[in-house]
Each structure stands twice: as C-alpha cells, then as structure tokens.
Amino acid sequence: QVQLVESGGGLVQTGDSLRLSCAASGRTFSGYVMGWFRQAPAKDREFVASIRWSGGSTSYADSVKGRSTISRDNAKNTVYLQMNSLKPEDTAVYYCAARLGYSGTDYKTYTYWGQGTQVTVSS
C-alpha cells in the first residue's frame, strides 16, 4: 500500500526558503514519477515540479523554474522540493503525488497522493 507523507511547510516571509519533504513507502518506486502540486484558495490544483525516480530527470512549472529544485534520496525513499525566494503567490497547500510511467502536469493523472502541507508566505 503506497503512502505519501508531506512535511516541511510553515509560515515564512517573502524571500525565505523552505524544503518540503515527501516520505514515500509501500513499494519500490523505480518506474514512478514523483510530483509536487499545490492548491491555493479559489484556485485549481497546480503542477509545481516532477522527477522520475529512475534517472532523476526533472520538470518544473514556469512559476517556480530557477528558484526551486526537486530531488530524491533513494536510501530514504524521500522526495524533496527546495523552494527559494518565496513569494506570497507561493502560498498554498503543497501535495506530493506519484504515478507510474511518464511525466505530466495534469493532477488527475496521478494515482497516489499525500495529505498536503501548508506553505504560507507573508508579504
């Protein structure tokens, strides 16, 4: 049974950094794509970044490209999202997700989800 548990969110100021963690368990994740999504009030769930477990190829949304880094630790079965230069528009609940196969930006194509962690960036 796959479980994804996010942590690392919090209340920060504009310009600060956070590292979000997603602890994955239940299966070997080779062949999986791990993704980070976020959802702000009154907005749809939005793609942030993804990484292929095997090989580590990454993809980023334009809104975070250049100031965010997604990575994974194979030994710990953990995926990270390092976010720098945070802005108020980054405020959202951040979700970790996973699916087999190809990378993508549509949240509806991801099979497994964590419960989310709140990131709030004050101005």
- If you average pLDDT over residues 55-64, what whole number do you get? 96
CA 13/CA 22 separation, integer angstroms: 22
- In this prediction, residue 105 carries a pLDDT of 93
Residue 103 has pLDDT above 90, yes or no: no
Q: Using 50, 70 and 90 to split pLDDT, how confident is the model at 2?
A: very high
Question: Which pLDDT score is estimated for 12?
Answer: 98
- Return d(Cα 59, Cα 38) in angstroms, integer: 15
* Percent over 90 (pLDDT), the chain: 96
Rounded to whole angstroms, the Cα distance separating 105 from 59 reads: 9
Q: What is the pLDDT of residue 114?
A: 98
Q: Which segments of the chain are extended strands (E)?
A: 3-7, 10-13, 18-25, 32-39, 46-52, 58-60, 68-73, 78-83, 92-100, 112-113, 117-122
